Amino acid sequence: MSEERVERPLLEVRGLRVDYGRGRRRTTAVDGVDLDVGPGETLALVGESGSGKSTIGNAVLGLVPISAGTVRFDGEDIGRAPARRRRELTAEIQAVFQDPYGSLNSMRTIRQTLVEPLIAHRRLGGPTGGTTKEPAEPASARSQVEAALHSVGLDPDAADRYPGEFSGGQRQRIAVARALMLRPRLIVCDEPTSALDLSVQAQVLNLLTTLQRELGLSYLFVTHDLALIRHVAARVAVLHRGAVVETGPVDRVCDRPEHPYTQALLAAAPVPDPVVQRGRREARAAALAGQR
Residues near ligand ADP (CB under 6 A) = 20-21, 29, 47, 49-55
Residue 135 touches which of ligand ADP, Mg ion, none (Cβ within 5-8 Å per kind): none
Shortest Å, Cβ 37 to Mg ion: 18
**Binding partner selected for residue 125 from Mg ion, ligand ADP, none, CB under the kind-specific 5 to 8 Å limit:** none
Determine contact, residues 31/53, Cβ cutoff 8 Å.
Answer: no
* Pairwise CA distance, residues 3 & 250, whole Å: 12
Closest CA to 176 of 217, 120, 135: 217
Nearer to ligand ADP, 59 or 204 (CB): 59
Which of Mg ion, ligand ADP, none sits in contact with 50, Cβ below 5 to 8 A by type?
A: ligand ADP
Closer of 54 and 94 to Mg ion (Cβ): 54
Q: Among ligand ADP, Mg ion, none, what does residue 42 contact (CB within 5–8 Å per kind)? A: none
- Over its C-alpha atoms, the chain yields an Rg (Å, rounded) of 20
Nearer to Mg ion, 154 or 205 (CB): 205
Of these, 16, 33, 42, 54, which contacts Mg ion (CB under 5 A)? 54
Least distance in angstroms from the C-beta of 29 to Mg ion: 11
Give Cα separations from 266 to 3, 22, 36, 47, 50 (angstroms).
Answer: 19, 35, 23, 10, 17
CB of 63 to Mg ion, least distance (A): 12
Q: Could you give the 3-state DSSP secondary structure of residue 136?
A: coil
Quick one: which of 217, 260, 218, 219 has its CA closest to 238?
Answer: 260
Minimum separation from the CB atom of position 205 to ligand ADP (A): 19
DSSP string, 43-79: EEEE--TTSSHHHHHHHHTTSS--SEEEEEETTEEGG
The residues, ordered by sequence, that sit 6+ positions from 143 with a Cβ below 8 Å of its Cβ are none
**Could you say which of Mg ion, ligand ADP, none residue 55 binds, taking C-beta under 5 to 8 angstroms by partner kind?**
ligand ADP
Q: Least distance to ligand ADP from the beta carbon of 61, Å?
A: 12
Binding stretches for Mg ion (CB under 5 A): 54
